[in-house]
Structure 1
Amino acid sequence: MDLHASQIQGFFDVPVDKWMRDNLPIEDCIIVSPDAGGAKRATSIADKLNVDFALFHKERKKAQEIARMVLVGSVKGKIAVLVDDMADTCGTLGLASKRLLEEGATKVYAIVTHGILSGPALQVIQDSGLEKLVVTNTIPQQQNCEACDKIEVVDVSLVLAEVIRRR
C-alpha cells in the first residue's frame, strides 16, 4: 500500500497493474497524476504498463481552494487513468476528471489506494464524469459501494497477508 514513504513507493502497483490489465485496453490508456506530488507514482505505473503519462499542475488561491488546474501532457483520444494515494472529499479527482474530458480523453477512471470518501465525496464521484473510482479495501467500502455504483473495490488482503508472512 502507499505508506507515504518514497523508499517503498510502488508497492501499490501490483493490484493497480492487474486491475487495469483485466479491465481496460492498456494500449489506449494514459496514466495521469492529479498533482505534481504524485508524479513519481504515476510515472512508475506508466513505465510498468509501457504507456504515456500526464500530470496536473494545481494553482491555489488559498489552502483547500484550487484556483486552476493545468494539464501537462496530451490525453486526446485516450482513456485517462488518474492514480492517487488517497481520496477524501474527491474534489481534486472530480475537477481533474472534468478537465480530462474537456481535453479530449475518451473516458476517465480513478484508482486510489485509500478511499476515505468523506463529506460530499460520493456526490462528487457521481457528478464528475468518472466511469469508475477503484479503491482498495484498506478502508471498508461496503456502504460507499451501496450508495454509489461507480465505486469498485480491489481486495488487497492477500497482498498484505503475503507481506506479513514474509516478515
Structure 2
Amino acid sequence: MSERQPSPDLGSAPELISRRAPLLVFSGQSNKPLAEAICQNLGIPLGLSRTEKFTNDNLIVRYEESLREGDVFIVQTFSTPVSDSIMELLMMIDAAKSASAGRVTAVIPYYSYARSDKKDSPRISIAGRLVADLLQEAGADRVLTMTLHAPQVHGFFKVPVDHLSADSVLSQHFRSCVDDPHEAVVLAPDAGSIKRAAGIAHRLDAGLAMVDKQRISDTEVSPRALIGDVKDRTVFIVDDEVSTAGSLIETVGIARSMGAKDVYVGVTHGVYTGPAIERIAQLDVTQVASTNTVLVSDEKIKAAGGKLAVLDVAPHFANAIRNIHSGESVSTLFS
C-alpha cells in the first residue's frame, strides 16, 4: 500500500491543474520506486491503492480514493513475476474504468512481450499482440512505454501509444565516462541495433561499429565479424536490454579481441535474469549501465562487484505524463 504524501504546492506546478480532470498516478507492485520518482517530478502524491494475493493465488486490487472523471496513469513494468505484473495491471485498468475514471493510461516502462513480435516458428502465439489486445479489452485508453524491443509492436495497439527513448540519458552517461567522446566508438551488437547506435554516436560525435552475426540454428546466433575500428579506443556497447547476458559476453569478447581499450555497456532495460549478475561480475567491462525501467535490487548491484549503474528516466516519464494530461505534444520531448 502506498502512503499519501503531503499535498503539493499547486502554485509551483500550475500546468497540473490547468485541466478540469484531476491528474492521478497509481502504481502496481513491480516498480513502485519509479512511480514514486515520477510523482516527485510531477509534484503530486502517488495515488492510494492496494493489491493483495489470496491463498489460492488470486489477486485483488482496490483503489482507496476517488477516481471519478480523473485522468489516471497506472505505472507497471513487466518484470518478474511477469504474469502477475500483467494480471495486476489488467485488474487495475478494469477497476479504474469501473470507478468512472475519465481516461486510463497504462504506463509500461518495460514491455517484455515486445520480444514476441512475429510468428518465427510453427504453432506459437504472437504474445506481443495478445497482451496489447488484453490491455485494450481491459479498458486502457492509451499506452506510454519506453524502448520497445521491436518497434512494430507499436502497431499492435488500436489506441494511441507514446514510445519514449532513453538514448539521451545513455548518451549523457557515456559522455561522462570519457574525457573526449570523439575518440570513442559506439558498438551495435547486431544489425537490428545499428540505427539506435548510430543515433547515439551522432549525439556523442563518436565513431560507429557493428557486430555481424550469423544464425546457426533457429535458437542460436553467433558473432562472425566486427565491422569498424575499435582498436585502442573506448567502446560503448548499446542495446535495448540485458537479460541473461549471454549475447553481451559474445559482444564484449569480440570487441576485446579486436583491441578495444575500455568497454562500457548501456541498455534501457536491465532485466538481469538467471546467471546475468554472475556473468557481469566476471565480464571484462568497466561498467554496465541500465535505466530504472526495471527495478534493480541492491543485492544485484552488490553481487555484480560494483559494475552495475542505474540511470534515472523518471523525468522523461513525468514530462510525457504532463504533456499527455495537458494535451500537448509528446514528440517535442525528443527534440
TM-score by length of 1: 0.92
> CA RMSD for the aligned pairs?
1.9
Query: Which ranges in structure 2 are unaligned for 5 or more consecutive residues?
Result: 1-145, 155-161, 325-335
* Residue 40 of structure 1 pairs with residue 195 of structure 2: yes
Contact kept? 1:9, 1:41, Cα under 8 Å: no
* Residue 147 of structure 1 pairs with residue 303 of structure 2: yes
- Pick which of 65-74 and 102-111 moved more: 65-74
User: Displacement of 1:13 after TM fit?
Assistant: 1.5
- Pick which of 26-35 and 56-65 moved more: 56-65
* Number of the residue aligned with 1:85: 240
Larger Rg, first or second structure (1 or 2): 2
Distance 2:212 2:185 in 1: 17
What amino acid maps onto 1:129 in structure 2? D
* Number of the residue aligned with 1:54: 209
Q: SS in structure 2 opposite 1:110?
A: strand
Contact kept? 2:223, 2:250, Cα under 8 Å: no
Distance 1:102 1:75 in 2: 10
* Number of the residue aligned with 2:151: 5
User: Displacement of 1:9 after TM fit?
Assistant: 7.8
Cα distance change of structure 1 residues 146 and 119 upon mapping to structure 2, 3 Å threshold: same
User: Displacement of 1:52 after TM fit?
Assistant: 1.0
Per-residue displacement from partner, 1:71-99 (whole Å, max 9, x unpaired)?
11110111010000011111111111121
Contact kept? 2:211, 2:223, Cα under 8 Å: no
* Residue 159 of structure 1 pairs with residue 291 of structure 2: no
What amino acid maps onto 1:5 in structure 2? P
TM-score by length of 2: 0.47
User: Displacement of 1:60 after TM fit?
Assistant: 2.5
Contact kept? 1:95, 1:128, Cα under 8 Å: no
Distance 1:157 1:50 in 2: 26
What amino acid maps onto 1:38 in structure 2? S
User: Displacement of 1:29 after TM fit?
Assistant: 1.0
Contact kept? 1:10, 1:41, Cα under 8 Å: no
User: Displacement of 1:20 after TM fit?
Assistant: 1.4
Q: Which has the higher strand share?
A: 1
What amino acid maps onto 1:144 in structure 2? K
Q: 1:70 aligns with which of 209, 225, 231?
A: 225
Distance 1:51 1:66 in 2: 28
* Residue 94 of structure 1 pairs with residue 261 of structure 2: no
What amino acid maps onto 2:151 in structure 1? A
Distance 1:10 1:57 in 2: 27
* Number of the residue aligned with 1:109: 264
User: Displacement of 1:10 after TM fit?
Assistant: 7.7
Contact kept? 1:86, 1:112, Cα under 8 Å: yes
* Number of the residue aligned with 1:18: 172
Give aligned-pair identity as a percent. 31
- Ranked by relative contact order (alpha carbons within 8 Å, sequence separation 6 or more), the top structure is 1
How many pairs were matched up?
167
Cα distance change of structure 1 residues 160 and 92 upon mapping to structure 2, 3 Å threshold: same
Cα distance change of structure 1 residues 74 and 40 upon mapping to structure 2, 3 Å threshold: same
Distance 2:209 2:233 in 1: 11
